[in-house]
């Protein structure tokens, strides 16, 4: 980890008996008190602060922070500003999803990752860069740079997805044919899920995190009795899942895969590819309709409470802020990692009882599942031999 804040390490310990995982223990990662750095700061300084601090999903953090602060202070945001912020966050999601494919597909050295990173940096700058954190002067996006960037983005994503990119509504049969014949990075990455025992690996029952209304966000992050635990959050009394499979659960192709493989490895990998395609197409269209923005008002109100949520590549990010006397008095952030790696949540349910083989075969399968749940999280996986639990005697 650099000077910016990324993740601390999760510990995942699996006991294996007769090729089956019979115990799963997840020790949540230590949560760094990053929010404290916002305390005592003027509201307009906080979005830029978080943009510098977070190495994971910085634009998503900036978007959530700015929105929460504006709601706390009763600032009305123009639709153009909201679209510019959302577009920056979507560029970030496209970058993360694409890099995951490029760096995980076949191990070959590729010129595309640096080109992708440079392109996304140019797109974010053309979309306003840091100026949209908290506008202090009117700004107009760079239309020429955005059009050029959209053309290059289409070329890059087309390279990643190969024959799947131009298909308007592929079915599962078309995807299988694509996997068999295409040499693109996405197909090479996803073919791993076709190994025996892999397609439905991790299939389990877990509900997706619903879209929270503001009152639900305040209940989850505020000081009341429904406040969730920061390292093991639950909603309505149970752990939830957030990320690509939950967001794409209504997609026809993802639903078709779910009928066969449940929410196992094949469906999860497919959902990430579907989301990349959807985001890229939406951003290319959105770029043509972005307009100028004005400045946020000054002087600002001096107190209030605000909440916000935004989607990052790895799942839902939530922020809550209290402002008093013109300064930040309280701040709380809930990241998607804590939902998906809840000690008895998604990963626990997916692994417990799963057949994995032994040795390196077991590790490869578990690693593949963990990476598709959250490719950015640092974790340590410990595999150990264990005795299968025996039912306790009655009477």
Contact 306, 69 (CB under 8 A): yes
Average pLDDT over residues 153-169: 94
pLDDT in tens, 262-285: 999 999 999 999 999 999 999 999
What b/e string do you get for 116-130 counting C-beta neighbours within 10 Å, with b at 16 or more?
Answer: beebbebbbbbbbbe
pLDDT in tens, 38-61: 999 999 999 999 999 998 899 999
pLDDT in tens, 365-379: 999 999 999 988 889
Q: Does the pLDDT value for residue 95 go beyond 80?
A: yes
CA distances in angstroms from 338 to 98, 147, 217, 234, 352, listed in the order given? 23, 38, 16, 10, 19
- Give the model's confidence band at 2: pLDDT under 50 very low, under 70 low, under 90 confident, else very high: very low
What mean pLDDT is reported for the chain? 90
Contact 31, 333 (CB under 8 A): no
Q: Does the pLDDT value for residue 296 go beyond 60?
A: yes
CA distance 266 to 274: 12
Q: Does the pLDDT value for residue 391 go beyond 70?
A: no
pTM (2 decimals)? 0.92
What is the CB neighbour count within 10 angstroms for residue 234?
15
pLDDT in tens, 97-120: 999 888 876 555 578 889 999 999
Of 138-147, 278-287, 335-344, 382-391, minimum mean pLDDT range = 382-391
pLDDT in tens, 319-378: 999 999 999 999 999 999 999 999 999 999 999 999 998 778 899 999 999 999 998 888
């Amino acid at each position: 980890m650099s000077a910016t804040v990324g993740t601390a390490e999760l510990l995942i310990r699996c006991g294996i008996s007769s090729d089956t995982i019979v115990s799963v223990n997840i020790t949540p990662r230590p949560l760094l008190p990053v929010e404290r750095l916002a305390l005592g700061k003027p509201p307009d300084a906080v979005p830029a602060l978080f943009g510098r601090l977070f190495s994971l999903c910085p634009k998503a953090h900036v978007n959530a922070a700015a929105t929460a602060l504006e709601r706390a202070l009763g600032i009305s945001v123009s639709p153009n500003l909201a679209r510019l912020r959302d577009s920056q966050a979507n560029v970030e999601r496209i970058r993360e999803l694409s890099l995951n494919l490029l760096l995980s597909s076949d191990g070959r050295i590729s010129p595309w990752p640096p080109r992708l990173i440079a392109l996304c940096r140019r797109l974010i700058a053309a979309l306003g860069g840091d100026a949209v954190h908290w506008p202090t002067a009117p700004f107009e996006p760079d239309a020429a740079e955005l059009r050029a960037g959209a053309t290059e983005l289409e070329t890059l994503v087309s390279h990643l997805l190969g024959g799947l990119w131009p298909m308007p509504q592929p079915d599962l049969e078309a995807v299988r044919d694509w996997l068999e014949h295409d040499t693109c990075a996405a197909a090479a990455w996803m073919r791993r899920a076709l190994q025996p025992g892999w397609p439905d690996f991790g299939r389990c029952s877990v509900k997706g995190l619903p879209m929270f209304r503001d009152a639900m966000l305040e209940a989850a992050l505020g000081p009341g009795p429904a406040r969730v635990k920061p390292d093991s959050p639950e909603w309505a009394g149970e752990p939830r899942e957030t990320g690509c499979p939950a967001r794409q659960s209504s997609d026809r192709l993802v639903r078709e895969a779910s009928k066969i493989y449940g929410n196992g490895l094949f469906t999860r990998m497919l959902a990430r590819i579907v989301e990349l395609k959807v985001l890229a197409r939406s951003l290319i269209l959105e770029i043509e309709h972005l307009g100028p923005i004005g400045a946020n008002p000054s002087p600002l109100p001096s107190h209030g409470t605000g909440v916000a949520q935004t989607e990052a590549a790895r799942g839902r990010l939530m922020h809550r802020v209290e402002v008093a006397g013109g300064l930040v008095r309280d701040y709380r952030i809930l990241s998607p990692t804590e939902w998906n790696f809840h000690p008895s949540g998604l990963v626990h349910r997916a692994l417990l009882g799963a057949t994995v083989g032994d040795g390196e075969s077991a590790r490869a399968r578990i690693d593949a599942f963990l990476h598709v749940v959250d490719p950015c999280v640092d974790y340590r996986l410990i595999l150990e031999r264990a005795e299968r639990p025996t039912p306790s005697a009655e009477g």
